[in-house]
Structure 1
Amino acid sequence: MTVDAHDFTAYVVVGAPNHFPVEDYLRADEQMTLDRAFAELREGMRMVPPRPHEPNFHKMLSADLDVARGS
C-alpha cells in the first residue's frame, strides 16, 4: 500500500499524540507512535525537492517539525 505525504500528514494530525489506530497485521512493537510518526515525517522530507530561491527551505521544514513535536 502506498501512502502519499498528504495522507500520512493527515494520519499523524488525526492520530497524534496517542490515538493512532491499532493495526492488526503489525506486532505491538511495530504500531505507530508519535515518535515513529515524526521519524517518518523527517524521512519524508528527503523527498521534498530543494527550492533554489529558498536555500534554507529544508532547515525551515526541520525546525517546523521540531516545533510541532514539542507541542
Structure 2
Amino acid sequence: PEIERAGLTTEAIEGLVSLAGLAAFGTLVGAATTRARREVARYEALVAVRRAVAGAASLDAALGRLRAALAR
C-alpha cells in the first residue's frame, strides 16, 4: 500500500478524508430515509383512523370501523 511506502502524503490524507466524508454522508442519508418512512407510516395510520371514524352515526359504529381499520 502507498501509505506504508510513502507515509501520509497529501493525496493519502485527501483520500481518507473523502472516505470518512462519504461514510458520514451515507449514515446521514440512511437516517433521514428511515425517519421519512416512519413519518409516512404514521401519517397513513392517522389518515386510516380519520377515514374510519368519519361519517359514523354512533360511537359504537365508529369504534367498530376503527378496530377494522387498525387490524389491517
TM-score computed with the length of structure 2 as normaliser: 0.34
TM-score computed with the length of structure 1 as normaliser: 0.34
Larger gyration radius, structure 1 or structure 2: 2
Q: Which has the higher helix share?
A: 2
Structure with higher RCO (Cα < 8 A, 6+ apart): 1
